[in-house]
Structure 1
Amino acid sequence: MLLESNLSSGQTVTPYTSKLDLQRRTIRPFGVYMLRGLASTGDRLLALDSIRGYLLQVDCTNDNTMVLNPRATQKLMDATGLAVWENQIWFARDDSVYWCTFEEFTPRLFVTLPYEVNGVAVWQSTVYVTCQKAGYILIFDRASGNRITQFYLPGVGAENLTIRGEELWICDDVERSVYCMDRATGEVRFSVLTPYESPSGLAFHTDSQTGSELLYVCYASEEMYIRDDPNNPEDPYELTSRDRTFIHPLHYYYDETARYTLSNGYLLEMSYVEEISPLEEVPLTNLEWRISLPVNTDRQTVLQVEPIGRPYTEEIQEGQRVAVFRFDKLAPQEGQIFGWKALMEVRGIKYQLTYRDTETLPPLSQEFQRRYLVDDDDLAMDTPMIRSAAREAIGTETNILRKILKIRNYVYDRMSYGIKPHIDTPDVALDRGIGSCGEYVGILLALARLNGIACRTVGRYKCPPDPDRRGVPLQPDFNHVWIEFYIPGFGWVPMESNVDDVVEGGPYPTRFFMGLPWFHAEIGKGIPFEKITAPDLPEDISIGDLALNHIRFTILEELPPPGAKPSE
């Protein structure tokens, strides 16, 4: 039986409309599983679903999805990369590149390579092909199929690409990055961190209504979720996975003078609260409890900080704000909640320095040598193991960027990540071969300082990195620390501790080498994050013996594009 419509003949439906903001709107095509290619032609945004073999036309304003090859989906299954030139559709599958037309979806072989192909782009008479295993962007003549030249791939993962004028734009799923390259020389002009993981395709698309051009990136991964199993009423909840794929604008602002690129950012609310919950009955008098506050950086702007539970006074330590909570007396069974809440803007940042930029540098100042080349935190810098590791790590290298990158890779080769209840000194951790982020940091600090590179610890927390979960309190399970190293004549730049140690034996991504994603909260650079003092404080009592901490993030909204005027 057909259900009758409740609309009378001739009656129209007025669609619900809200303020459309294409610059921050996520596109979620219907019925798709894994998008692995994007292309733009005229006012159409096209996407490739490699699981179903769909070539899709997607409406950026309302997610309306149309299959353009309904009778030829088998021919595009397992395809990746997508390019359109005139009436030709180009794609890759396995180790080959094919093309077909919009009228006839019959793949025609263009070229076969020894290894799997990841992406393809076409510009006039030239075809660009990415191959992760070969490590190159291979460039062919479109008419003859002959290879013209090749460029090194900028990252280590599977890479897709598109072309805009004289620029090659590459996305890398492992590096979580997009690279802008010179199409003639293959030189990387700058790179951009993406707000989501696993970018799988990209295209520049001009909106027909506004005339504005946006760089769209598609993402393809899996996510874990709790499934309600109706066939198991006694234990109905189970952990399983599902495909997650969508399209989102990638914004970037390249400051050539300051040598960094900013990308998509978010307005965050972060709170850090201590709850007095002592393991032992320890009465304290004239207690001062110091907690560092978020700092302003090139990628992070603190808009507001307010106290929670109790008022605090502020003091400045090495140019950074610290909240000081004072207690005349803290009784053994006393209950207290205190801390701060901050409103801040955070973005992804990538510093654009090359080895050539750091060949000739001024000497490190005496002040920095005294502060940042010493063992001030149980770094075991005088032990034979750490001194030998410092020499072995850099060999004969003299360039500061190559030195710090070799040190990082040396540590990655010898360490695997693992959580421990306490942090051991670098010699113990390096000998064991397993360590937490804090132990990675200790080893990196020791080896870098012994090689004359000023560096310091930075932290302290990461917002759970899912921008879709806005307005929901998010609670990270662990704290996190990384380092900053100092380039004389330029300044401090970040380097992640253990996060890029993702492949046994390498090659290791450099996404967070001189870069940080949007979800890092920078609190306390080279100073203690938290410290307590009292005249009657026993030496063996730590903060963890006295209190439990509570950390909460809330993603409020995505920020306007970086570099935009306030009115935009």
Structure 2
Amino acid sequence: MSYALDNLNNLTTGKMFGQRTIRPLCAASIYGIAFIKDTLIAIDQRKGFLLEINPYTDNTKVLNPHQVREFTGVTGIALCEDTLWVVRDNSVYLCKLNSLGLEHFITLPYPADGIAVWGSTIYVSCQKLGGILIFDRNTRKQITHFYAPGVGVENLAVCEDTLWVCDRTEQTVYALDRATGEIQFNVLTPFDSPTGIAIHTDENGLSNIYVAYASDEPYVRDNPNADPNYEVAYRDRTFVHKLQYHYDPEKRVALSNGYRIEMSYVEEVAPLEEIYLPTLEWHIALPSDTDRQKVVSVEPIGLPFSEQTVEGQRVAVFKFDALTPGERHVLGWKAIVEVRGIKYRITPRDVENIPELPEEFKTRYLVDNDDLAMDTGIVIRAAQDAVGTETNILRKMYNIRNYVYDQLSYGIKPYIDSPDVVLERGVGSCGEYVGVLLALCRLNGIACRTVGRYKCPAFAEHQNVPLQPDFNHVWLEFYIPGFGWLPMESNPDDLGYYSAHPTRFFMGLCWYHIEIGKGISFESLFSKGVRLTKEDISIGELAINHIRFTILDELPPQK
């Protein structure tokens, strides 16, 4: 299974195996994947191609030219010695790799999704059954089953004592104890829609995880027959990428793939109406150093700034003797940050006997200090209904999140209403989701704060080209005494049509989240030492902001 030309190309490619994204030629929708030494075997679920792929060059070969129909619709594959196992519809089949004549193994009452094989033990995932079924190869009888760790369609791989599960909806890979099904840790994948997972053993005997992805991506199509000729269309997007991860059992946190990103935030002073502001200070928060984000450098853009620390957060301060009518400036900052995915693995049992919330946290993070309408009847009732009789802080937080997701649907507005108005309306932006979550959490004694302010466009393959986000974004952090601050997204996990909401961003963030100004205002104005309110002057009416991201490169594995 080698090509002479490929072997020559292997020596001349700029990135070695494991350091590049594998983009198989002619593939439309890769689901199951497996390795034979350094050769990747993959199933194209839509076309029915069983592909042999050179991971250095993306060269592909169809292994089943006469059995394409039999392999169309296959969603999972596994290799054990010279035997290929496949999952199609409700059934599991096996065959010899050199003949590909499918032999029926078992049939499930619902569609099977993924498969992994270890010796005589067969693992089959089934979303409809909400679990992973374990069969004995010799008797074809079910031995036991594990509960599915996520809510989406799952694919499987197995290695030694670990069963690896990738969940398409959760955008997550779970490491399960192969004997008990207990989750050891889980990590966020750097891309959405993971559809396959495999283990590759390198020349040093180390096991590496590779994940396949398949989805549709929008693009601008030049259509000569249309007027105007540019139109939005969709095309297949499928590839395989190495999953980097580092799990710290003491901190109960796993880091995954990350990128070095250049971000700039600039205000172009261009007021709608001319104004005079004496002794002006313009404050803009800077990126934060966190468990997943490292600020490498920060430099000014346009005008120089000094730095202040506000509640532990870095803030750039631009000073003017006065801002006079007709005056124009550009001011802001550019930062280089290294950002990774992060996922905490904390269970309700872990937080049963936590310390009391510190008094200073109660006065700062349990109060209505941001128009949260915590004294209104609709918000008070919502806070009570969300948790019921639950007392465990983690379950309370989870219940509040799910309650808000059940009550609201997502919609963008040019301004943010208070939580009472949002709950009455039933539609909210990310900032309004955060407002409702803050109010309900604080009324239930859970300290929390706002975090944001932007997400890098999630196009990791578009490196060294300028990227502009379409809008800003905020999420929150909640505090568990003894564990610290934990992240939680505002609305992306509210998929609406799922009976069970995914938890990918519950105690987790992906690499494209940029943390800026935790718990403080992102941007504010002071004149003569007095902070200006929106009623005094709106920054949006005073200046035009320009935000740019450039993904420089992928970070090496975390040590």
TM-score by length of 2: 0.96
Structure 1 Cα separation of the partners of residues 249 and 202 of structure 2: 28
SS at match of 2:12: coil
Q: Contact 1:350 / 1:516 at 8 angstroms: preserved in 2?
A: yes
Q: Residue 212 of structure 1: CA displacement?
A: 4.8
- CA gap of 1:183–1:328, structure 2 versus 1, over 3 A, is same
Q: Tell me, yes or no, if structure 1 residue 228 matches structure 2 residue 230.
A: no
Report the CA distance between 1:526 and its aligned residue.
Answer: 0.6
Match for residue 396 of structure 2?
403
- The correspondence of residues 396-435 of structure 1 with structure 2, limited to 5 A, is 396-435=389-428
Residue pairs, 1:385-404, within 5 angstroms: 385-404=378-397
Distance 2:459 2:514 in 1: 15
CA distance in 2, matches of 1:153, 1:531: 46
Structure 2 residue 234 is the aligned partner of structure 1 residue 276: no
Q: What's 1:319 paired with?
A: 312
1:88 is matched by which residue type in structure 2? T
Structure 2 match to 1:566: none
Task: Note the C-alpha offset of 1:552.
Answer: 0.5
Note if contact 2:38-2:55 (Cα within 8 Å) is conserved in structure 1. Answer: no
Unaligned stretches of 5+ in structure 1? 1-12, 564-568
Q: Which of 169, 172, 177 lines up with 1:177 in the alignment?
A: 172
Does the residue aligned with 1:391 lie in a helix, a strand or coil? helix
Q: How big is each residue's C-alpha offset from its partner over 1:146-182, in whole Å with a ceiling of 9 and x where there is no partner?
A: 1111110000110000000111000011100000000
What whole-Å deviation, never above 9, does each CA across 1:387-443 have from its counterpart, x for those lacking one? 111111001111111000000000000000001111111011011000001110010
What is the deviation of 1:14?
Answer: 7.2
Closer/same/farther in 2, CA of residues 14 and 254 from structure 1, 3 Å limit: closer
Q: State the distance in 1 between where 2:347 and 2:284 align.
A: 36
Question: Where does the alignment leave 5 or more consecutive residues of structure 2 unmatched?
Answer: 1-6
Matching residue within 307, 311, 322 for 1:329: 322
Map of 2:45 onto structure 1: 50
Give 1:41 shift: 2.9
SS in structure 1 at match of 2:361: helix
Report what 1:529 is aligned to: 522
d(CA) in 1 for partners of 2:459 and 2:129? 33
Deviations 1:449-468, CA, capped at 9 Å, x for gaps: 11110000001000000100
Contact persistence 2:13–2:56 (CA under 8 A) = no
Map of 1:105 onto structure 2: 100
Paired position in structure 2 for 1:552:
548
Q: Would you say the 8 A contact 1:283–1:332 is kept in 2? A: yes
Superposition pairs for residues 239-254 of structure 1, below 5 Å?
239-254=232-247
Offset of 1:93 from its aligned partner?
1.0
What amino acid does structure 2 have at the position aligned with 1:84?
A: L
Does the CA-based 8 Å contact 1:23-1:561 persist in structure 2?
no
Give the whole-Å Cα distance in 1 for the aligned partners of 2:387 and 2:259: 38
Does 1:219 find its partner at 2:213?
Answer: yes
Is 2:170 the partner of 1:140?
no
Q: Partner residue of 2:537? A: 541
Distance 1:20 1:239 in 2: 33
Secondary structure in 1 matching 2:42: strand
Change (3 A) 1:144 1:441: same
Which of 63, 67, 76 aligns to 2:62? It is 67
The secondary structure found in structure 1 opposite 2:335 is strand
| Structure 1 residues 362-388: Cα deviation after superposition (integer angstroms, max 9, x where no partner) | 110111111111111111111111111
What TM-score results when the alignment is normalised by the length of structure 1? 0.94
| Bigger Cα displacement from structure 2, 404-413 vs 89-98 | 89-98
Instruction: Output the CA distance in 1 between the equivalents of 2:514 and 2:166.
Output: 25
- In structure 1, how many angstroms separate the alpha carbons of the residues matched to 2:279 and 2:334? 24
Which string of whole-angstrom CA distances, capped at 9 and with x for unpartnered residues, describes residues 501-534 of structure 1?
A: 0133631000000000000000011111100011
Q: 2:417, 2:468 → 1: CA distance?
A: 27
Instruction: String of CA shifts for 1:465-510, please: whole Å, max 9, x gaps.
Output: 0100101100101111101000101100000001100133631000
- Matched to 1:354, the amino acid is T
2:295 to 290, 295, 302: 302
Matched residue SS, 2:517: strand
Q: CA deviation at 1:211?
A: 5.2
Who is 1:464 aligned against?
Answer: 457
Question: What's the offset of the Cα at 1:32?
Answer: 0.7
Comparing 486-495 with 280-289, which one deviates more in the overlay? 280-289
- Distance 1:385-1:231 versus aligned 2 partners, 3 A rule: closer
Amino acid at match of 2:136: D
Partner amino acid, structure 2, of 1:336:
H
Question: C-alpha separation between the residues in 2 aligned to 1:39 and 1:17?
Answer: 25
Aligned length: 551
- How far apart are the structure 1 equivalents of 2:519 and 2:232? 40
Structure 1 partner of 2:4: none
Instruction: Please give the alpha-carbon distance, in whole angstroms, between the structure 2 residues aligned to 1:24 and 1:517.
Output: 20
Amino acid of the residue matched to residue 561 of structure 1?
P
In structure 1, the residue corresponding to 2:259 is in which secondary structure? strand
Name 2:3's counterpart in structure 1: none
The answer to whether the 8 A contact 2:476-2:489 is kept is yes
Between 1:541-550 and 1:496-505, the stretch displaced more is 496-505
Does 1:120 pair with 2:115?
Answer: yes
Structure 2 residue aligned with 1:292, among 281, 285, 288? 285
Q: 8 Å contact 1:75–1:106 — kept in the other structure?
A: no
The one-letter code of the counterpart of 1:530 is E
Map Cα deviations across residues 13-47 of structure 1 (whole Å, 9 max, x no partner): 97581433333310111111100101123443211
Which residue pairs with 1:6 in the alignment?
none
Q: Map 1:460-539 onto structure 2 (within 5 A).
A: 460-504=453-497, 506-535=499-528, 539=535
Assess if the C-alpha contact under 8 Å between 1:459 and 1:525 holds in 2.
yes
